[in-house]
Amino acid sequence: MTCSLPVVVTGLGCLSGAGMNLNENLKNLFAGCRYPGAPIRFSTDHPVAYPVLELRDAFKLPLDEDQLVYARTGQLALAAALGALSAAGYEEASLRGRRVGVCIGTTVGCALNCDDFYRDYKAGKNPGMAIIERYLRSNPAAVIARQLKLNGPVQTVVNACSSGTDAIGLGASWLRSGACDIVISGGADELSRVTYAGFSSLMITDTEPCKPFDVNRKGLNLGEGAGIMILERADRVDKTRILGRVLGYGSACDAHHLTAPRPDGAGLKAALAEAFRTADVGAKQIAFVNAHGTGTPDNDRIEGRVLNEVLPGVPFLSTKGYTGHTLGAAGAIEAVYTLACLNRGEIPASIGFAELDPQIPVTPVTVNTPLGGHIGLSQSLAFGGNNAVLILAAGGA
């Protein structure tokens, strides 16, 4: 089985701790700049402040004050979607009468973990429903569909940290089936006190800027942001609008542990095999891999070994040193980066890496590196044992 009907990308949108739009993200990536710091929007009583990568500027949506009724994740998704649609040459009105699907990955954006509300509830303070009503309005895919008055399938994927990758793969699948004409796909997640507390409880957050694949890595830094791709059927798009192609998608489950990757990497290998099969390409055609590379000891060890086995000699990097781990948005932001790098013909240095880990038989790129091909691979590993892989091609390929 191959994904015989080509799906093309006509718009990219992205905001993260590395920048408020795609150009700013790329500028910082290729300049080797990152901006980790203590959380600004919330505090905890942890004895140490774990660095995070928050958006460095306020973002403004083109909405009236009374329309700003969405939680931050929904706003991030909408901001990235508007950026991607603009890049694709679409105005809101030009989507009318078309079947436009929305497929968005998230984790925080769907959880009823409103701890301000719950604190008052526990204290018997009889909190009102404003926070709950905002939560009910803020399902990220529904936010985009509702705000843009779209008619088509709407889906929020909650596959933990592979959600964004899965959402793009599923969105491409909807197009191939004829379920819609255009798909707004990607992922969004805000930085939250709840996930901050959760990941620190698992003891997989670093007290310093993260160091993916490095021997001294101690864990991840959390981040926030959104990445969006506008997907369309190749046979319905003017070639001059094509920014890239979704060649293949694979996913598989470890069926091993709720939070730890399977030691033999079997789930990731199965997802890679399915992605290669659906893309009808081989490992030798892959110019680079945008790895999950969280900076946690387990993830990077397993992922590095699988890369060595399945994609030996293929340059790879982790961009989480620039963005932090943006959870449900991560796979989407990284897919956007992958395509942007393919079009640029180079990848940035894998920031944070300095010293080889003898348990990992591969080394990420340590300097900005020119690419020798036009096909790239972006992969995500997630809680629940999910593994998801996208194979993407440059626009002119």
Partner 1 sequence: MRLAIQGIGITGSFGAGVDALRSALQSKTVAPQQLTVDHHDGARDSFPAYRATTEGLERFLPKRELRRIDHFSKMTLLAAHLALEDAGLLEADRSRIGVVVASGYGPLKTTFNFLDSYLDFGYSCSSPTHFSNSVHNAAAAHVSMQLKLTSPSLTVTQFEMSVASALLSARQWLAEGRVDRVLFGAADEYCEVLRYCRRHVFADGEQGPLRPLDLEVQTAMAGEGAVFMVLECADEAAAYAAIDSVILGNHAVAPLTMPPGGSCGRRSRWPPPVRTMVC
Residues with catalytic roles: 161, 292, 325
Measured from the CB atom, the residue of 152 and 219 that comes closer to partner 1 is 152
The residue type found at 389 is: V
Longest distance between any two alpha carbons in the chain, whole Å:
63
Number of residues engaging partner 1 in binding (CB under 8 A): 74
Near partner 1 by CB under 8 A, which window of 69-77, 149-157, 283-291, 342-350?
149-157
Could you say whether residue 10 binds partner 1 (CB under 8 A)? no
Residue ranges in 160-199 that form contacts with partner 1 under rule CB under 8 A: 160, 166, 170, 173-174, 176-177, 179, 194, 197-199
Nearest to partner 1 of 154, 317 (CB atom): 154
Q: How far is the CB of 314 from partner 1 (least distance, A)?
A: 24
Residue 124 CB, nearest distance to partner 1 (Å)? 3
CB-CB contact of 4 with 235 (8 Å) = no
Q: Which of residues 304-363 bind partner 1 (CB under 8 A)?
A: none
Residue 314: CB partners within 8 Å, gap ≥ 6?
283, 286, 287, 288, 289, 307
Choice from 29, 141, 340, 389 touching partner 1 (CB under 8 A):
141
Does the protein bind partner 1 through residue 234 (CB under 8 A)? no
| Choice from 239, 258, 282, 313 touching partner 1 (CB under 8 A) | 258
Beta carbon of residue 98, minimum distance to partner 1 (angstroms, whole number)? 10
Among 74, 244, 267, 293, contact with partner 1 (rule: CB under 8 A)? 267
Name the residue nearer to partner 1 (CB basis): 198 or 373: 198
Bridge pairing between strands 154-157 and 100-105: parallel
Closest CB to partner 1 among 87 and 327?
Answer: 327
Q: Is 266 in the site for partner 1 (CB under 8 A)?
A: yes
Residue 157 makes contact with partner 1 by CB under 8 A = yes
**Positions in 109-138 near partner 1 (CB under 8 A):** 110-113, 115, 118-119, 121-124, 128-129, 132, 136
- Put residue 228 in one of left, alpha, beta given phi > 0 → left and psi -120 to 50 → alpha: beta
- In the complex, what is the shortest distance from the CB of residue 267 to partner 1, in angstroms, rounded to a whole number? 6
- Cα separation of 146 and 166, whole Å? 22
Q: Is 67 in the site for partner 1 (CB under 8 A)?
A: no
Using rule CB under 8 A, residue 275 touches partner 1:
no
Q: Which one of the spans 26-34, 142-150, 354-362, 366-374 is the region binding partner 1 (CB under 8 A)?
A: 142-150
Q: Is 391 a binder of partner 1 (CB under 8 A)?
A: no
- Closest separation between CB of residue 157 and partner 1, Å? 6
